Amino acid sequence: MITPHNYHDLPTICNTLAQEKGWWDEPRPEHLLQLLCISEITEALEAMRAGKRADKDLTNKVAENFNAQVFKANIKDTVEDEIADAAIRCFDVLGANNTEITELYKQATFGYYSLNFKSFISCVLESDYEGAIEQCYQAATLLGFNLDLHIALKLEYNKTRPNKHGKKF
């Protein structure tokens, strides 16, 4: 059974897994870390444009009995998955910097038509990774999905992937 992690623990959890998968074998400049975070949110936008959403019932079934192949075929690359990826990247950077999260504001404060990810990108470019994570939670609230669960599922899936997920950086 996959259960969501406490957000206070996510910087350490995400960074530990990233280190195990080789993401921190070589130093990476801040601008590259920022671009990697931004690339995930642009993938979420592309998934949104394509109408790729995760089925909530299937997501809950995968959480009950995790199967990497079912995850890959049905949840990976959806809006929910890509927003989780964006949050994971930000949690990873916080963990690498040994930053403790004191509190996250997880509720949406604006209407659906404000959902444009611009605030996420602005936060990342200012190295405000906590603010960027809050934007992910706001997007999840507006889109009606459990981001904590999708983060936990993606972390479990990432454990099954090769070093650097088969990428150069």
In this predicted structure, the answer to whether residue 140 has a pLDDT above a threshold of 60 is yes
DSSP-H helix ranges across 52-128: 56-64, 68-74, 79-96, 118-125
85, pLDDT greater than 90: yes
> In this structure, are residues 136 and 83 in contact, taking their beta carbons and an 8 Å threshold?
yes
Could you tell me what percent of the chain has a pLDDT over 70? 92
- pLDDT tens, residue by residue, 43-53: 999 999 999 99
Domain spans of the chain, in order of start = 10-161
Q: Are 151 and 106 in contact (CB under 8 A)?
A: no
Cα 54-58-59 angle, rounded to 5 deg: 60
Tokens of 30: 């801040």
Residue type, 121: I
Tens-place pLDDT, residues 111-133: 444 556 888 999 999 999 999 99
Angle (CA) 17 91 18, round 5°: 20
d(CA 14, CA 5): 11
Q: Does the pLDDT value for residue 147 go beyond 70?
A: yes
